Every structure is written in C-alpha cells, then in structure tokens.
Amino acid sequence: MDWDSFAEWGEKAARWTQDYHQTVKDKPVRAQTEPGDILNALPELPPEQAQPIEDIFQDFEQIVMPGITHWQHPRFFAYFNANTSPPSVLAEFLTSAIAAQCMLWQTSPAATEMETRMMEWLRHALDLPTGFAGVIQDSASSATLAAVLTMREKALSWQGNQQGLFAQKPLRVYCSAEVHTSIDRAIWVAGIGQQNLVRVLTKGDWRGMDPVALEQAIQSDLDSGLHPAGVILSVGGTSVGGTDPVEECLKVAAKYGLYTHVDAAWAGSAMICPEYRHYWQGVERADSIVFNPHKWLGVQFDCCAHFLKNPEDLVQTLAISPEFLKTHGKDGIINYSEWSVPLGRRFRALKLWFVIRAYGLEGLRTRLRNHVNWSVDLHDRLATEPDFEITTKPMWSLWTFRYAPDGAVDLDDLNLRLVNAINDDGRIYLTQTRVDGNLTIRFQAGQFETTEDDVRVAYDVITEIARSLT
Ligand SMILES: *Cc1c(COP(=O)(O)O)cnc(C)c1O
C-alpha cells in the first residue's frame, strides 16, 4: 500500500467507522468468543510477501471484530466507560497522519503550546485556581507514579534518585482502602514498598478516609521513627466511588508538610458541572490532581490530565536534560517530557481541542448530567423491588446492588451467576466488585451515546434474568 491509494481506503475506513457506531447497539456488548478463538484464526508466521489491503481489511472485519467487546456500545455499564466521539476520532486520525513525537517544544511547538492551552481550558472547566499548571500524561497510572516519585524525592530532599533508598528510613504514604490499584503499583515501583502504604480507616456513605484516623496514623509513625512522605486521596474510587473528605484530609497533610495527590481519574470529568464540586471541596489545597478525559469527556484513550501546584517539584524529580535534548535560544519554553516518566509523547491535546470545541462545555455537561440522572432513576426503581438490595448508594452515576430473594442461601454465588448470565445475554454489560467482603454488582452509566431508554433496558434485563435464576 502507498499514499496513492490512501484516500480511497481512508474513505472506506471513515464509512466503516460511521456504520460501526450507528449499528453497534444491535451487537452483544461483551465479546462472546472463547479463549484462543482469535489467536487460532491468525497465521502462526508473518507473510514474506506483501498482501493486498483488501484482504487485510476483510480479515479485520471477519477475525478481529467478533473478538471485540464494544466499549462504545450505549449499554456498556461495566467498569468505567472509555469514550470516544466523532470529533475525537477525527482528531486522532489527523494526529496519526502527522505522527509527531512531541517530547520537546522544538519537536513540535504546536503540540506543546496546544497542550498548555488545553490544560488551561480544563483547569477553567473544573474551576481550579490559576496557580495550577497541567500536563497530559498517557494514563492516570503514570500520573500517579510521577506524583509518588515527587512525593518521595521531596521527602528525601531530592536524594532518592541519587543515592537509592537503601540508606533511608522507611517512607510512609497514607490512603484509604478505596484507592485504585494504580496507587499500590506506584508505591511498589517507587521503591517505597507495599508495607509502607498505610490504609487509613474509612467511614460514612462516601467510604472516605477518617481525617482523625489519618492524623493518628501519621503521628504514630513519627513516634516510631518512620518518615511520613505523602497522602493520596480518592475522589470516585473504582469499586464503589469511594471519596475522601478532601479538605479535612489535605489540612492534616499540610500540618505535617506532606505532599498530596488526588486520584479523581473517573469522577474528575464530572467536576465540569458546578453541582458535583462539593464532592472534592478544598481540592485546591492539593499538590497534584489527576483525572482522565479519556473516561468521561469523550476523548479516547489515551488522555490523562495531570494538574500540579508546583510543577518545578515534578521536573526536579524527573528531568534529566542531557545536552542533546536541550533546546537552545528559546526562553520560557516547556519540554513536557521532563514532566513524565516516558520520554516520547504523542500529540494528545489535539483531540481535546476538537472535542471541547465541537460540543462546548455545556454540551459535555448535559451528557454527564443525563448519565447521573438516568443512573439514579434506575437505582430508585430497583430499590423498590423487594428481592433486590442496594449495597452502595449512587456516587455520581455509580452504585451497586445484589439480588437477594427470600430464602436464597449463597448470595455471592447467586450474584456471580447473575452477572455472568447478564453478560452472556449480551444486551447490557455489567461487572462485579466486593463490598464489605460480599460479591455485589456495579452499575454505572457514562457512554456518550447512551439514552434514557438504554438505561431502562438495563432494568428489564436485570430483573428478568435475576428472576429466571431461582
Ligand atoms: C481508571 C482509574 C485509574 C486508572 O486509570 P488509567 O488511566 O487506566 O491508568 C486510576 N484511578 C481511578 C479511580 C480510576 O477509575
């Protein structure tokens, strides 16, 4: 294939894309293939000779597509959604056409300056104070790792990178049990060690950290000669939306001079709506905040917004700046590769620019509000069914339930069978979690094309399949 035939195939791909999105709602949401089906359909060895693009495209449809779980299906209610949207697909198409590697300002000034401006737009959209600077990371996991490394280096007066951790007192980091596993992994990779990630007790409907318990944990570590380094807060945890009392916890952290990071990977997008901001009141006291526009703002993976009160701390932690990467003669330029663990970076700001302009903040807010309202409606309806039990209340559009008919003995087994039967049925897609040790089923709405009717279908499917099991 060469560029001469590209436009023809580009048009075919564009028509395929439109048709896919307009008909995906008629397909089962979760892939219905067995393990190995796709692997076995792919030749064991690569071709020695060029193959026509017709054949490749045909195999894409016949081999690949049956093995796809449709994340853009309007009845994808599992995990958290990872949306795309027409303007985002278009922007990514152009990004891949340009294929710039945007590690330094000079390796594409437009990418750097667009990123600066888009992070300012997002900061404005979330109503964060102007003091915050932003960078786009590939994922929340990477942003959290960068924050934990910064936390570590600050606590060690910037000696960790130089000396390693062998001669240091154990560093201690505090979080609740509701944080995402990316926090554990950042702690491992940063050399802090799982046993130094202190789980502070949670309380209340939001399953948030108890600030009094946080202070006690820090104090008791200080008394034992350990070295508190930072606090990581959850706003909208992945399991049930666990959310810490941000302001009180950040005040405790400030009292002890600890670096703070807020993981709002999913729920951060909702903060473009003023009515949800009470969930993270006081967040402006944090040193580092992360959220994923690639979840709920309609730009596809990867696009993670990372805000920093003092980006100098992050740059001091991560920048190496060997001579051959230096950009001479331009003052005040930003080399975003100094703000992240990977050196190479994609032009991720373009899709934000397309999407925010194509929908406007008001268009995005309307989608988010609809998702929350429709999800809460479904919760209210299921709550009136005597054979169902609400296990956690809605946090934005996420809540959990169990099927618990009179006389049922093993509810964990029943609910696992229920979630599997629902996903085999294919009309909707749900996932399970554990709440206080009990298996329970999550519901969340957040796909960009979801309608109120799709959420109503979820009610029919859940009640119908549950009652057919007993
Ligand atoms: C999705 C999620 C993450 C991980 O996000 P990635 O961008 O996939 O690394 C972290 N924390 C929370 C709360 C999440 O929902």
User: Which residue has 């071709």 as its token pair?
Assistant: 47
The average pLDDT across 428-435 equals: 97
Residues 76 and 121 in one domain: no
Q: For 401-429, b where at least 16 C-beta lie within 10 A, e where not — what string?
A: bbbbbeeeeebeebbeebbeebbeebbbb
408 pLDDT band, cuts 50/70/90, is very high
The domain that contains 224 carries what CATH number?
Answer: 3.40.640.10
Q: Are 192 and 164 in contact (CB under 8 A)?
A: no
Q: What is the pTM of this model?
A: 0.96
Q: Are 335 and 103 in contact (CB under 8 A)?
A: yes
What is the extent of the structural domain holding 61?
36-66
The average pLDDT across 271-296 equals: 98
61 DSSP assignment: I
User: Which residue has 């580009």 as its token pair?
Assistant: 10
378 Cβ contact partners less than 8 Å away, ≥ 6 residues apart: 443, 445, 455, 456, 458, 459
Residues 231 and 323 in one domain: yes
* Cα 263 to middle of ligand 1, angstroms: 8
Element (H, E) at 424: helix 411-425
Is residue 164 domain-resident?
Answer: yes
The domain that contains 432 carries what CATH number?
Answer: 3.90.1150.170
The average pLDDT across 197-201 equals: 97
List all residues whose CB is within 6 A of at least one atom of ligand 1.
80, 139-141, 180, 182, 236-238, 263, 265-266, 292, 304
Model pLDDT, residue 86:
98
Report angle CA 139, 337, 310 to the nearest 5 degrees: 80
Decide which of 319, 346, 373 is a domain's last residue: 346
Chain center to CA of 164: 31
Is residue 353 domain-resident?
Answer: no
Is residue 160 domain-resident?
Answer: yes
Element (H, E) at 148: helix 140-155
Is residue 90 domain-resident?
Answer: no
Residues 199 and 246 in one domain: yes
Model pLDDT, residue 322:
65
* Cα 291 to middle of ligand 1, angstroms: 8
Residues 290 and 366 in one domain: no
Q: Strand order in 431-435's β-sheet?
A: 388-395, 398-403, 438-444, 431-435
Is residue 175 domain-resident?
Answer: yes
Residue type, 431: T
Residues 285 and 168 in one domain: yes
The average pLDDT across 310-314 equals: 94
Residues 397 and 281 in one domain: no
Provide the number of structural domains found in the chain: 3
Taking only the tens place, the pLDDT of each residue in 224-280 is: 999 999 999 999 999 999 999 999 999 999 999 999 999 999 999 999 999 999 999
Q: Flag whether pLDDT at 324 surpasses 80.
A: no
* Cα 120 to middle of ligand 1, angstroms: 22
* Cα 324 to middle of ligand 1, angstroms: 34
Is residue 355 domain-resident?
Answer: no
Is residue 356 domain-resident?
Answer: no
Whether the CA torsion 36, 37, 42, 45 is positive or negative: it is: positive
Quick one: which of 310, 279, 275 has its CA closest to 204?
Answer: 279
137 pLDDT band, cuts 50/70/90, is very high
Quick one: which of 409, 170, 381, 398 has its CA closest to 279?
Answer: 398
Report angle CA 324, 334, 128 to the nearest 5 degrees: 155
Q: Which of 79, 80, 182 to mutate to test the pocket of ligand 1 (most atoms within 8 A of CB)?
A: 182
Length of the chain: 470
Decide which of 311, 346, 381 is a domain's last residue: 346
Q: Flag whether pLDDT at 72 surpasses 80.
A: yes
Residues 319 and 378 in one domain: no
User: Which residue has 């009652």 as its token pair?
Assistant: 467
Which ligand 1 atom lies nearest to the CA of residue 142?
9
Is residue 92 domain-resident?
Answer: no
Residues 342 and 291 in one domain: yes
Element (H, E) at 362: helix 349-383
Q: Flag whether pLDDT at 128 surpasses 70.
A: yes
Least confident of 97-106, 282-291, 326-335: 326-335
Beta bridge partners of 175: 199
Whether the CA torsion 438, 140, 286, 316 is positive or negative: it is: positive
Q: Are 115 and 306 in contact (CB under 8 A)?
A: no
| Terminal-to-terminal C-alpha distance of the chain | 57
Element (H, E) at 394: strand 388-395
| Strand, coil or helix: 439 | strand
Q: Which of 266, 301, 396 to mutate to test the pocket of ligand 1 (most atoms within 8 A of CB)?
A: 266
* Cα 244 to middle of ligand 1, angstroms: 16
Model pLDDT, residue 445:
98
Q: Are 424 and 266 in contact (CB under 8 A)?
A: no
Chain center to CA of 313: 24
Q: Flag whether pLDDT at 192 surpasses 90.
A: yes
Element (H, E) at 399: strand 398-403
Residues 145 and 283 in one domain: yes
Model pLDDT, residue 321:
72
Mean pLDDT in the chain? Answer: 96
* Cα 138 to middle of ligand 1, angstroms: 11
Closest-CA residue, ligand 1 atom 2, reads 265
Q: Flag whether pLDDT at 320 surpasses 90.
A: no
Model pLDDT, residue 328:
58
Closest-CA residue, ligand 1 atom 14, reads 265
Residues 268 and 323 in one domain: yes
64 DSSP assignment: I
Percent of the chain with pLDDT over 70: 98
Model pLDDT, residue 332:
72
Which ligand 1 atom lies nearest to the CA of residue 302?
7
Quick one: which of 248, 252, 249, 195 has its CA closest to 226?
Answer: 195
Residues 333 and 384 in one domain: no
One DSSP character per residue, 217-255 reads HHHHHHHTT-EEEEEEEEBS-TTT--B--HHHHHHHHHH
Report how far residue 373's alpha carbon sits from residue 353's, in angstroms, rounded to the nearest whole number. 27
217 Cβ contact partners less than 8 Å away, ≥ 6 residues apart: 174, 198, 200
Report how far residue 134's alpha carbon sits from residue 307's, in angstroms, rounded to the nearest whole number. 4
Quick one: which of 433, 400, 422, 452 has its CA closest to 29?
Answer: 422
Which ligand 1 atom lies nearest to the CA of residue 235?
13
* Cα 183 to middle of ligand 1, angstroms: 9
Q: Flag whether pLDDT at 327 surpasses 90.
A: no
Residues 243 and 179 in one domain: yes
